[in-house]
Amino acid sequence: MASRSEKPQKFHGRIEGAADRCGVAGCDEPGEFRAPVSPGDFDGPGQWRYLCLDHVRAHNSSYNYFTGMSPDQIEEAQSPIAGWERHSRPFAHIGCDPPPAWSSFTDPLDAISARFQRGDRSDMNPFAEARFTANERKALRTLQLRDDIDRTQLRQRYSELVRRYHPDRNGGDRTHERALQAVIEAYTLLNSARAFA
């Protein structure tokens, strides 16, 4: 921890005492700032070069992460759940059942708040596994419903989620179109489920 008498660094990210020179040809200033040559990804860092203060300022003012991307790729990169579809290590499940697959959720916050059952499943409905197929249980998770619902509760939940996600009902917000599509598909599957016959 710095004492009060020490002045804080004036420039964030400066590498004090850098031995290498600026990466711009003909510049004799020390390369104290790291600048990306190409954007990285979630699997590792991108490529870097070291620049002096003046050249890193020029680099930052002209750098555009989205250069070369199509409009769809830019929209996907700006999504609040960008990267959610990537494979990640499973949670440890010692002492409780394995967690549901990440792909079972359309919203990351639903996955974070998912409850994990302890090894004792006596509180669960014993007919749950037989009542719904694996795809139907996935659809129930999409609609955030338990396995003991009836058709009326299914319709109520569907109506609530459509009102939340449909652009005509939420002021024209089209950012929830994927979630809306998942809700419609889940409802269509469950509406014809054998459990409601």
The verdict on residue 14 lying in a domain is yes
**Four-residue CA torsion sign, 110, 100, 183, 161:** negative
Helix (H, G, I), strand (E, B) or coil at 86: coil
Would residue 63 count as lying in a domain?
A: yes
- The one-digit pLDDT tens for each residue of the chain (197 residues) are 444 444 455 666 677 767 788 888 899 888 888 887 765 554 555 677 888 889 988 888 887 878 888 988 888 878 777 666 666 666 565 656 566 666 666 776 666 666 544 444 444 444 445 678 888 989 999 998 888 888 889 999 998 988 888 887 777 777 888 888 999 999 999 988 888 77
Q: Which domain holds residue 41?
A: 10-67
d(C-alpha 195, C-alpha 130), whole Å:
9
What is the spatial distance between Cα 123 and Cα 175, in angstroms, rounded to a whole number? 38
**Distance separating alpha carbons of residues 56 and 14, to the nearest angstrom:** 11
> Same domain, yes or no, for 106 and 163?
yes
| Whether the predicted model's global pTM rises above the 0.95 cut | no
Q: Is the residue at 90 inside a domain? A: no
Q: Are residues 112 and 192 located together in one domain of the fold?
A: yes
| Domain total of the chain | 2
Residues 182, 116 share a domain: yes
**Same domain for 108 and 51:** no
CB 23 within 8 A of CB 31: yes
2 part of a folded domain: no
